[in-house]
Amino acid sequence: MSQRQDPAASDYLHNTPDDAGFFGKHGGVFVPPALEGVMREVSRAYETISRSAEFISELRSIRKHFQGRPTPVYHAARLSRKLGASQIYLKREDLNHTGAHKINHCMAEGLLARFMGKKKIIAETGAGQHGVALATAAAYFGLECDIYMGEVDIAKQAPNVARMQILGTRVIPVKHGLKTLKEAVDSCLEAYMQDPVNQLYCIGSVVGPHPFPRMVRDFQHVVGAEARDQIIEMTGRLPEVVTACVGGGSNAMGMFSGFLADTGTELHGVEPLGRGPTPGEHSATLTYGSEGVIHGFRCYLLQDEQGNPAPVHSVASGLDYPGVGPEHCHLKDTGRVSYHTIDDEAAMEAFFLLSRHEGIIPAIESSHALANAIRLARTGERPRSILVNLSGRGDKDLDYVIANYGTGDRYVK
């Protein structure tokens, strides 16, 4: 029985999305005419470098020497024992340089920008995590970097704003509307249209117009490819369940893309249920959304009656986006991935359980995926092997956690 990467897996990655950027009925390019040609130019450049041996070898070298890849898979044996007979394994993306998976696509986007002869890379950021990862890539490649950030988020995320500035990035305050992530994306797209010649827009997840959802998935694929080899080496077989949290969906697509062809392995995406299923209290887009268009692509969307993106909430600021990557929408439609919800409270319990029992403080985003594994370990009728993508570390969340949840004694009895 061969457990090496199935050729069907690379076929899928090769042929999905179609040439127009559609994953089933989701995705595509819904941008002003001025940007259509720009997107084609990015597509062509990506096609070229993704086949270039030089690009592949430079990216490999960056991943190894600068980021610290491969990240390990870790058997959380003590936590597993607390919960029952199932075994939980963690893919340690928190051990990447800068503390999360986002650096995987930001370094590759930096390489693409250099290849295209761009002087500047630009992006939006919400909590500042994508901004810090891209600012890091800009410093590495000697590129200028502008990060668009809502004024409300700038006030809330002072340490990340300082990090970006220390790295030499300009943080541009966005002052319209709710002054948070959605407005930051609007402003960044506007700035991109002003000067697509000197700038490259480096989107923060598997969202936006084609080719971004494909490109970011391919750049994150290393997570799933490594994890598949590592868990087979560790346990002698494939896991029964692989689970990851879904904001825009990049860490989940990276992980799932390594296992799509392994039909005996269940894939679970985890969305934030926030304070509950009432509109405005959560950000569970695939679970409660309907078809719509946001930021240049078609997807399931949390929207009001007029089709405007609805307000969303999650305790994890990296998960509160009203849209979601088009490939996840397609994988929901085909049934290959099942999508589940975890509320703020269950995510915080997982945050404290992992900290106390394993000495690993996870990001609150990643705690959602972990909470799904904990739920399965507690309730499953048979013991299973569960692989969790631990997308990031929790250092960025400590002030917020202490102020709102204390040190967790209530959760860890």
Secondary structure of residue 10 in the 3-state scheme: helix
The residue of the chain with the least Cβ separation from ligand PLP equals 392
Measured from the CB atom, the residue of 122 and 363 that comes closer to ligand PLP is 363
Cα Rg for the chain, rounded, in angstroms?
20
User: Please, what is the minimum distance in Å from the beta carbon of residue 131 to ligand PLP?
Assistant: 11
Secondary structure of residue 278 in the 3-state scheme: coil
Question: Given candidates 392, 397, 401, 405, which one binds ligand PLP under the rule CB under 6 A?
Answer: 392
Neighbours of 1 (CB within 10 A): 3
Closest CA to 410 of 332, 353, 338, 331: 353
What mask, x for binding ligand PLP by CB under 6 A, covers residues 336 to 375?
---------------------------x-xx---------
CA dist list (Å): 166 to 132, 135, 139, 160, 248: 10, 9, 10, 10, 27
Length of the chain: 413
Candidate list 91, 102, 179, 182, residue with the active-site label? 102
- Torsion angles phi and psi, residue 237, rounded to 5: -155, 175
User: Please, what is the minimum distance in Å from the beta carbon of residue 68 to ligand PLP?
Assistant: 16
Our finding on whether 248 is near ligand PLP (CB under 6 A) is yes
Candidate list 124, 226, 266, 365, residue with the active-site label? 124
Among the candidate windows 148-156, 244-252, 261-269, 342-350, which touches ligand PLP by CB under 6 A?
244-252
Candidate list 80, 86, 355, 391, residue with the active-site label? 391
User: Please, what is the minimum distance in Å from the beta carbon of residue 66 to ligand PLP?
Assistant: 18
Question: Given candidates 174, 246, 377, 401, which one binds ligand PLP under the rule CB under 6 A?
Answer: 246
Measured from the CB atom, the residue of 109 and 114 that comes closer to ligand PLP is 109
User: Please, what is the minimum distance in Å from the beta carbon of residue 211 to ligand PLP?
Assistant: 16
Closest CA to 111 of 189, 215, 214: 215
Among the candidate windows 181-189, 246-254, 277-285, 376-384, which touches ligand PLP by CB under 6 A?
246-254
CA distance 246 to 133: 18
Question: Given candidates 96, 199, 230, 251, which one binds ligand PLP under the rule CB under 6 A?
Answer: 251
CA dist list (Å): 359 to 132, 285, 349, 352, 362: 25, 32, 15, 10, 10
Q: Which parts of 76-105 interact with ligand PLP (CB under 6 A)? A: 100, 102
Residue 332: both structure tokens together: 């929901």
* 102 part of the active site: yes
CA distance 91 to 230: 9
What mask, x for binding ligand PLP by CB under 6 A, covers residues 299 to 328?
-------------------xx---------
CA distance 260 to 107: 25
User: Please, what is the minimum distance in Å from the beta carbon of residue 49 to ligand PLP?
Assistant: 22
Measured in Å, how far apart are the chain's first and last C-alpha atoms?
44
* 80 part of the active site: no
Secondary structure of residue 391 in the 3-state scheme: coil
Among the candidate windows 5-13, 156-164, 247-255, 401-409, which touches ligand PLP by CB under 6 A?
247-255
Measured from the CB atom, the residue of 319 and 371 that comes closer to ligand PLP is 319
| Nearby residues of 90 by Cβ (< 8 Å), 6 or more positions away | 73, 74, 76, 360, 370, 387, 388, 390
Measured from the CB atom, the residue of 105 and 114 that comes closer to ligand PLP is 105
Measured from the CB atom, the residue of 255 and 384 that comes closer to ligand PLP is 255
Q: Which parts of 126-145 interact with ligand PLP (CB under 6 A)? A: 129
Our finding on whether 67 is near ligand PLP (CB under 6 A) is no
CB 261 within 8 A of CB 16: no
CA distance 33 to 36: 5
Q: Which parts of 171-210 interact with ligand PLP (CB under 6 A)? A: 205
User: Please, what is the minimum distance in Å from the beta carbon of residue 389 to ligand PLP?
Assistant: 9
Beta-sheet pairing, 87-92 with 385-390: parallel
Active site residues: 102, 124, 391
Q: Interface with ligand PLP by CB under 6 A: which residues? A: 100, 102, 129, 205, 245-251, 318-319, 363, 365-366, 391-392
